[in-house]
Amino acid sequence: MPVPVTCEQCGKTETYPPSKDERRRFCSIECRKEWQTAERAEITCENCGETGTYPQNQADTRRFCSIECKAEWQSEHVAGEDHPNWDGGKEEFTCDNCGKVRRRKPSEIGERNFCNPECKGEWMSEYLTGENHPQNTQELVECSWCSNSVSRPRWQREQFDRHFCNDDCRWDYFSEHGDDIGRDSGKIEFTCDYCGDSNERIPSEVVAYDHNFCDRHCRAKWFSENQTGENHPGWKGGVGSYYGENWHRIRRKVRKRDSHKCVFCGVKDEAAKIIHGAELHVHHVQRKEVFETFEKSNSLSNLLTRCAFCHQRVFD
């Protein structure tokens, strides 16, 4: 419902939507401009001393006639010790590289101080390289082949038992001691859990598994016999309905015999998918539990093609 609002300039009353009645003060832009012109206040600039007229709502906050006057006044009255964030000003420091004296804020002066990044880089390249670097972990170790000293970081000393000057020393060492430290040494004998043949393998590959096999073929055959159905660790009860190994072949044959349509209502396969949302079913006249074998329950004389609707009516 429209709400009446009285203009603060001309006194004319107009109706406006309820959403605008709280912030509406004038009936038009002209009335707002006349009100702003009439209700102006004179303000004297604190920097240049000139007097100007401004809207009434700026009378309590306006102090300068322009941004330039404000900046000029602040640079004179709000600088150095007069600034509210003054904390003592800049202090002198000596560059640790070139020795020049500079000025900087106290918060920017630390244990090491430099004029610029170039001075810092020159100082670090001279005093924080090689053994002088705080993160240096290099130490001398003996080459396992020629006994010469070679420098290695801590992580390499902890991870490897043997160290070498270069690849030549490495190849010479392993070509002479390979039989003692290679993968061919230290193998143990085990028996294949499927075929029973004896084989050799390194201990870590034998003890890591509960069952060991000659190859992937023996492994696959063992699993197909010992970890299927209820014996499988992931067994959860099996499928809900099982109709035998020949079910899919017989099902296709029955649907073809019945011309791919329901024997009761006559709906065809494509239409059944549209109407009932499912393809044609194959129905057992007598339930499969009555027969001793799936071959007997899946005989053509015991099967009929039905749509989903007609199939459900059998059980209703």
- Residues 255, 306 within the same domain: yes
Q: What is the pLDDT of residue 54?
A: 77
307/268 Cα distance (integer angstroms): 8
Q: What is the pLDDT of residue 119?
A: 92
Confidence tier at 305 by pLDDT (50, 70, 90): very high
Q: Does 14 share its domain with 69?
A: yes
- Would the pTM of this model clear 0.75, i.e. be above it? no
pLDDT band per the 50, 70, 90 thresholds, residue 98? very high
The reported pLDDT for the residue numbered 153 is 87
Select from 227, 258, 283 the last residue of a domain.
227
Residues, the chain, total?
Answer: 316
Mark whether 7 and 75 lie in a shared domain.
yes
Task: Return the pLDDT at 238.
Answer: 63
pLDDT tens track for 204-234: 888 888 899 999 899 999 988 888 777 777 7
* pLDDT for the residue 242: 73
> How many structural domains does the chain have?
5
- 73 with 9, same domain: the answer is yes
Q: Would 235 be classed as within a structural domain? A: no
Residues 13 and 40 in one domain: yes
Please indicate, yes or no, whether residues 163 and 199 belong to a single structural domain of this protein.
Answer: no
Is 232 part of any domain?
no
Which pLDDT does position 239 carry in this prediction? 59
Residue 259 has pLDDT above 70, yes or no: yes
pLDDT confidence of residue 316: 62
Digit-coded pLDDT (tens) for 148-168 = 999 888 888 888 888 999 999
Q: Quick check: is 151 in a domain?
A: yes
- 308 shares its domain with 259: yes
Q: In this prediction, what percent of the chain has a pLDDT beyond 70?
A: 91
Per-residue model confidence as pLDDT tens digits over 109-132: 889 999 999 999 999 888 888 777
In a domain, 233, yes or no: no
Does position 260 have pLDDT exceeding 80, yes or no?
Answer: yes
201 contacts: CB under 8 Å, gap ≥ 6 = 187, 188, 190, 212
For residue 99, pLDDT beyond 60: yes
Residue 147: inside a domain, yes or no?
yes
* CA within 13 Å, CB half, 187: 11
In-domain check, residue 134: no
Mean pLDDT of the residues in the chain: 84
Q: Which structural domain, as residue segments, surrounds residue 13?
A: 3-79
234 within some domain: no
Which residue type, as a one-letter code, is found at position 95? C
Report the 3 state secondary structure along the chain: CCEEEECCCCCCEEEECCCCCCCCCCCCHHHHHHHHHHCEEEEECCCCCCEEEEEHHHCCCCCCCCHHHHHHHHHHHCCHHHCCCCCCCCEEEECCCCCCEEEECHHHCCCCCCCCHHHHHHHHHHHCCHHHCCCCCCEEEECCCCCCEEEECHHHHHHCCCCCCCHHHHHHHHHHHHHHHCCCCCCEEEECCCCCCEEEECHHHHHCCCCCCCCHHHHHHHHHHHCCHHHCCCCCCCCCCCCCCCHHHHHHHHHHHCCCECCCCCCEHHHHHHHCCCCCEEEECCCHHHCCCHHHHCCHHHEEEECHHHHHHHHC
What backbone phi and psi angles, to 5 degrees, belong to 258?
A: -90, 20
Q: Is residue 236 part of a domain?
A: no
